[in-house]
Amino acid sequence: MPPMKQGALRGSPVVPVRLRDKWADILSPTADAQAFHPDQVAHLPAPAGRWLCHAIAVGTLLRRRAELRQHGQIKIAGRWWPIRSRQALDPLRGYVWPVRTSVAGLPLLGVDLLADGEAELTHRLLGVVPVVEMQGLDVVRSAAARAASEICWSPATALDPAISWRVTGLDETVASIPIAGETVDVALKTTRDGAVISLTAQRWTRSDDGSWQWRTFGAHVLEEASFGGFTVPSRVVAGYGDDFTGAGAFIRLIVDDLVMH
């Protein structure tokens, strides 16, 4: 797989004014965040415990709300285009994801959102001409799978008692994550020392003919990095189907910064 290039885009997108309250709410400080100790994973299946001991340095405060800056590429109409994005993420509540793309030299500005049980995808050429405008229950169901799958960027969330776990292999486990009225089963595959290899889930997805169906949604980790005591995937490729890293891939992301709140 060729390395991702930063492209011509400069600067992160701005959080839309109408969504700034939701952004701030998702990033509200984690209440009573305790310091991490390996004893806190003793009740989890071994693969999940190894992941968290790899992902969280001893003594790190277990903050859950993730603020990210990212860049990478997105596939539109069969071609890869550069993107820059910001994200506010709480895998149990949702996310706000402002994104800026350059398509054939023209700016495409958008935001993906799941918050307070509502979801939307809004992307506009030049920030004005609608290209994608979607909302409703189908979008909520789809967005829930995305939020749950991104638990890898908020490892402390995995300690929440609302999440249940089951082992499916020596280095594989499934987390059942409740969000937005859905329960999303996220399959996590790790190395023997706990580094994330991939995450997969079934995601409610709109097909080309406009109908909705369940499809495999997956992300493969190419690199990881440490930010403030958390070691998380920092370079990923994600997509749909069995070949979600190849023909089914639609996004390649690099995490430039991660701050936990």
In one-letter notation, the amino acid at residue 117 is G
- In this prediction, residues 152-162 reach a mean pLDDT of 99
105 has pLDDT over 90: no
- Residue 8's pLDDT is 52
- Residue 3's pLDDT is 46
The tens digit of pLDDT for each residue in 166-198 reads 999 999 999 999 999 999 999 999 999 999 999
180, with CB counted inside 10 A (0-12, 13-18, 19+), is buried
- Residue 2's pLDDT is 46
CATH tag, 42-254: 2.50.20
pLDDT band at 254 (very low <50, low <70, confident <90, very high): very high
Partners of 221 in the β-ladder: 236
CA angle, corner 55, sides to 53 and 56, nearest 5?
Answer: 70
- In this prediction, residues 123-128 reach a mean pLDDT of 88
**d(C-alpha 178, C-alpha 185), whole Å:** 9
When mean pLDDT is compared across 12-21, 42-51, 98-107, the lowest value belongs to 98-107
- In this prediction, residues 46-51 reach a mean pLDDT of 98
84 has pLDDT over 70: yes
pLDDT band at 77 (very low <50, low <70, confident <90, very high): confident
CA angle, corner 182, sides to 34 and 251, nearest 5?
Answer: 80
Backbone angles phi, psi at 196, to 5 degrees: -70, 130
pLDDT, mean over the chain:
95
Backbone angles phi, psi at 143, to 5 degrees: -65, -30
Give percent of the chain with pLDDT exceeding 90.
Answer: 89
- Domain residue limits, the chain: 42-254
249, two tokens: 């891939």
- Residue 9's pLDDT is 66
- Residue 6's pLDDT is 43
In this structure, the strands spanning 79-90 and 66-76 are: antiparallel
- Residue 12's pLDDT is 84
Q: Which of 159, 152, 133, 114 is nearest to 234 (CA)?
A: 152
Partners of 243 in the β-ladder: none
- In this prediction, residues 139-160 reach a mean pLDDT of 99
- What is the residue whose two structure tokens read 């493969």? 220
Q: Which of 76, 119, 73 is nearest to 96 (CA)?
A: 119
- Residue 126's pLDDT is 87
The tens digit of pLDDT for each residue in 60-69 reads 999 999 999 9
Q: Which residue has the higher pLDDT, 1 or 128?
A: 128
